[in-house]
Amino acid sequence: MSTSSARAWVEIDLPAIDRNVGRIKQALPPQVRYVAVVKANAYGHGMPEVATRLLQAGVDCFAVANVAEAAILREVGHDADILLLSPTLPNELARAVALGLDITLNSVAEAQALAALVRGRDRRAKVHVKVDTGMGRAGVWHEQAAELFAFVLAEPGLEWRGVYTHFSDADHDQAFTAEQRATFLRLLETIPASVRAGLLIHADNSAGLESFSSAAPFNAVRVGLMQYGLPPSAGSFLASLRPEPVLSFHARVVLVKDLPAGTAVSYNRTKVLSRPTRVAIVAVGYGDGVPTAASNRGHFLVRGVRCPILGRVTMDQTIVDVTDVPAVAVGDVVTILGAQGGDRITVAEFCAWSDCIPWEALCTLTQRVQRVYRTDRT
C-alpha cells in the first residue's frame, strides 16, 4: 500500500515480527507455550494482519480482551486457541462457547451461569480460572479461589484448561511480585496433581527467572509488547533479548511559514516565540495519537533533524520549529516515532514527554491513521 497520498500513517514491519517471535521462542524453555496477546487491535498494529503473521511465525495461541475481538481473530486464526482475558458479560457467553473460546472465570457466579448455559448440550465450555493475588482487578480473590476451583472440578460441562494470575508491579516491586507468586503457587498445590498436569499455568510477562525454573509449574507466557519490538523490563526472564522495532509513525508537512518574534503559538498562547521562527504545520494531532501532554515538550524528526513542538498539540495539526532545518517543504515526511536520517525517536522517549506508558502510546493511534504493512517485498 502506497503512502504517497497519506497525511498520517504508521508502517508495520511484518518481517520484524517474525524475527522477534523467533528470538522469544528460542529463549523460552521447550515446555513453555507462547501466548500472543493481540487485544486492542494488536496494540494498535492491526489485528488481522499481525495475527496472521504471528501464526506463520509459530505462536501457540492467542489472548484477547473480549468476545468481539475474538470473533475477528477467529476469522484469521481458524482453530487456534483464543483466551478471553476480561470478564465475559452474561449475554456474550453463548457466542463465546459457539466460537470455541477459552473463557476466563472470575467468580463462582460466572461459573454457575456458564455451567447452566451448557448443561444438557453436547459441547463443553472451555475455561481458565483467573486468581487475583493482589492487583484488585479481574480474577477471583485468592481467599475465595478454592471454592471456584471446587466448582469447576465438579461441573461436567466445564473443561478446565488453565489457571493464571497477573502481577501488578513486576517491573518495579520485586518483593510484592514475590508475594503474589507465592500466593499463586500455594493455591496451585490445592489443585489435584492429575488435573494440574493438564492445565496451562501462566502469570504475567515472564517476570523473574524463577517463573521458568525447572521446579516451577509455569508452562506458558503471555507475550505482548516484546513481540511488537519493545524491550522487556530489566528484571524480565527475557531481558537479554533485543527485539526489533515493528511500528513507525509518520505524517506530512502541510504548510511552512515564517513568524515574527513575540508571536504566541497555538491554543492558549502557551508558547511565545523568542526569535523570528520558521514553522512547519504537520498533519497530525491528538485526533491521530499525539497526546496534548507532548505540547512544548516533544520533538518530531524533519529531514533527519529533531524539531521541537511549539505550543499546544491540536486535534489535527501540530506546529514544529524548523528554523534550523534547510529547505523544509510542503509534503516532506515527518517522523513521530521511529528512525529518520541518523536519528530515532523511541517509544520510551515519546512516552516520557507524553506522560503515558508504551501500551497507551500504541493503543491510542486512531483509525484515521493509515496502516501500511511492509514485507520483504515492499
Rounded to whole angstroms, what are the CA distances from 362 to 51, 75, 240, 288, 356? Answer: 16, 24, 23, 11, 10
Q: Which comes out higher in pLDDT, residue 371 or 378?
A: 371
pTM given for the model: 0.92
Amino acid letter, residue 20: N
> Can you tell me the distance from the alpha carbon of 329 to that of 303, in angstroms, rounded to the nearest whole number?
10
| Residue 275 burial (10 A CB sphere; 0-12, 13-18, 19+) | exposed
Count the neighbouring beta carbons within 10 Å of the beta carbon of residue 192.
Answer: 9
Residue ranges of domains in the chain = 31-228, 247-374
Instruction: Name the E strands within the chain.
Output: 8-13, 33-37, 61-64, 82-84, 102-105, 125-132, 140-141, 158-164, 200-202, 220-223, 247-259, 264-265, 271-272, 277-282, 299-302, 305-308, 318-321, 333-340, 343-345, 370-374
What band does 214 get if pLDDT is binned at 50, 70 and 90? low
- Residues annotated as catalytic are 39, 267
Domain covering 247-374, topology: Lyase, Ornithine Decarboxylase; Chain A, domain 1 (2.40.37)
Superfamily of domain 31-228: Alanine racemase (3.20.20.10)
pLDDT attached to residue 112:
98
Given pLDDT bands bounded at 50, 70 and 90, which one contains residue 1? Answer: low
- Angle value at C-alpha 101, between 99 and 105, nearest 5 degrees: 135
User: Residue range 278-282: average pLDDT?
Assistant: 98
Could you give the percent of the chain with pLDDT greater than 70? 94
Is 204 a residue whose pLDDT tops 70?
Answer: no
On whether the CB atoms of residues 258 and 276 are closer than 8 A, the answer is yes
